[in-house]
């Protein structure tokens, strides 16, 4: 297979993996004040992702780096178009990371409440804004013949892009609530199930609408359609699993739903990497935006060595910290201060 296509698939895998793994972190961060009624319960929710969130966030860095190295023209045009939006994304990720570290530095309720608020804001803004950016790839941005973005910040707020952002935010919330149901017990787990039960209704409707719109924009791509159907069936399965209080299956099925939703965008995008709404002839393509064959070959060998190590490390981390976090006993030590 052509290395250009291989690296397009790899970039898609990185973005999909980011939302599958960091998606539940975003959901937990956004919902920790909903499922936790006092500081102990909120610490339980936060500590459930303590050993995982920073490692999961690396997938975003790797996705951007892979685009920069494999498709420099794509990276330059898309990131230039998203400049202000990316500043907001970085702001949200920074205040979110700082919130994890600073929240436990004082016993003051006001101090902890402030950092809980910033954690919620950062966890909501990041998936919403990134989702809008991903949606804009498929629906199109004003790009001229030279590959330069000619629009404004408001050009990014396309109806489909906004729907994609809202869909991914909603799925992150659902994914986070099923993760909390899987990783906690007692009152926190009960509220996580209750939250998931409320979210599942709108999530199912939104996934169906988003999948149909993606299929229409993709030129009726068969692979995009298949992934869209997988997302819908994942949402249906999660709907039932939440109702039966099957925490493990609910988490797996929400992971399938959010992963299929993101992957369907890239499947529908190919062979383009960024559609031009100015003129389809100006769209950036996989072949036209790719790096040289030599660069892609070197990157492929590096990926063959490093990527399995990353997967093994993350799998081992999840295994080591597989136990539930309980508020009835001592909260396990994690990378997040209590």
Q: Is residue 232 part of a domain?
A: yes
Q: Is residue 338 part of a domain?
A: no
Q: Cα torsion for 40, 328, 56, 218, to the nearest 10°?
A: -90
Q: Is residue 71 part of a domain?
A: yes
Q: Is residue 288 part of a domain?
A: yes
Residue 105 carries which DSSP code? G
Q: Is residue 331 part of a domain?
A: no
Instruction: Note the pLDDT of residue 220.
Output: 80
Return per-residue pLDDT of the chain as tens, 338 residues: 599 999 999 999 999 999 999 999 999 999 999 999 999 999 999 999 988 998 899 999 999 999 999 999 999 999 999 999 999 999 999 999 999 989 988 889 999 999 999 999 999 999 999 999 999 999 999 999 998 999 999 999 999 999 999 999 999 999 999 999 999 999 999 999 999 999 999 999 999 999 999 999 998 889 999 999 999 999 999 999 999 999 999 999 999 999 999 999 999 999 999 999 999 999 999 999 999 999 999 999 999 999 999 899 889 988 999 889 887 544 333 444 44
Evaluate whether 174 touches 316 at the Cβ level (below 8 Å).
no
Task: Write out the residue range of the structural domain in which residue 127 sits.
Answer: 3-320
| pTM for the model | 0.93
CATH of the domain at 189: 1.20.1630.10
Q: Is residue 332 part of a domain?
A: no
Q: Could you list the beta-strand ranges (E) of the chain.
A: 272-274, 284-285
Total number of domains in the chain:
1
Which residues lie below 8 Å from residue 296, measured CB to CB, with a gap of 6+? Answer: 3, 4, 6, 7, 70, 290
Q: Is residue 329 part of a domain?
A: no
Q: Given the structure tokens 């070197």, which residue do they identify? A: 298
Q: Is residue 156 part of a domain?
A: yes
Nearest to 314 by CA among 56, 29, 134, 39: 56
Instruction: Note the pLDDT of residue 293.
Output: 92
Nearest to 43 by CA among 154, 94, 119, 130: 119
Structure tokens belonging to residue 218: 């993709």
């Amino acid at each position: 297979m052509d290395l250009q296509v291989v690296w397009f698939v790899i970039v898609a895998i990185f973005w999909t993996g980011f939302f599958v793994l960091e998606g539940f972190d975003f959901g937990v961060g956004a919902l920790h004040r909903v499922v936790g009624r006092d500081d102990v319960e909120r610490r339980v929710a936060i500590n459930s992702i303590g050993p995982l969130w920073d490692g999961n966030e690396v997938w975003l860095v790797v996705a951007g780096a892979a685009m920069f190295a494999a498709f420099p023209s794509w990276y330059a045009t898309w990131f230039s178009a998203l400049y202000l939006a990316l500043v907001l994304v970085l702001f949200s990720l920074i205040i979110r990371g700082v919130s994890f570290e600073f929240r436990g530095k004082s016993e003051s309720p006001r101090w902890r409440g402030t950092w809980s608020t910033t954690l919620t804001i950062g966890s909501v803004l990041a998936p919403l804004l990134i989702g809008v950016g991903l949606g804009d790839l498929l629906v199109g941005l004003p790009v001229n013949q030279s590959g330069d973005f000619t629009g404004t910040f408001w050009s990014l707020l396309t109806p489909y892009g906004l729907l994609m952002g809202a869909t991914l935010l909603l799925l992150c919330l659902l994914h986070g609530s099923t993760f909390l149901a899987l990783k906690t017990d007692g009152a926190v787990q009960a509220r996580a199930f209750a939250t998931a039960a409320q979210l599942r209704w709108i999530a199912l409707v939104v996934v169906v609408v988003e999948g149909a719109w993606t299929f229409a924009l993709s030129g009726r791509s068969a692979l995009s359609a298949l992934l869209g159907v997988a997302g819908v069936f994942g949402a249906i399965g999660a709907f039932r699993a939440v109702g039966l209080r099957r925490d493990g299956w609910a988490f797996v099925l929400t992971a399938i739903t959010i992963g299929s939703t993101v992957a369907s965008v890239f499947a529908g995008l190919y062979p383009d990497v960024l559609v031009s709404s100015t003129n389809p002839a100006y769209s950036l393509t996989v072949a036209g935006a790719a790096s040289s064959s030599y660069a892609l070959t070197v990157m492929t060998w590096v990926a063959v060595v490093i990527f399995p190590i990353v997967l093994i490390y993350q799998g081992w981390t999840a295994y080591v910290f597989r136990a539930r976090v309980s508020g009835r006993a001592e909260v396990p030590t994690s990378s997040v201060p209590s």
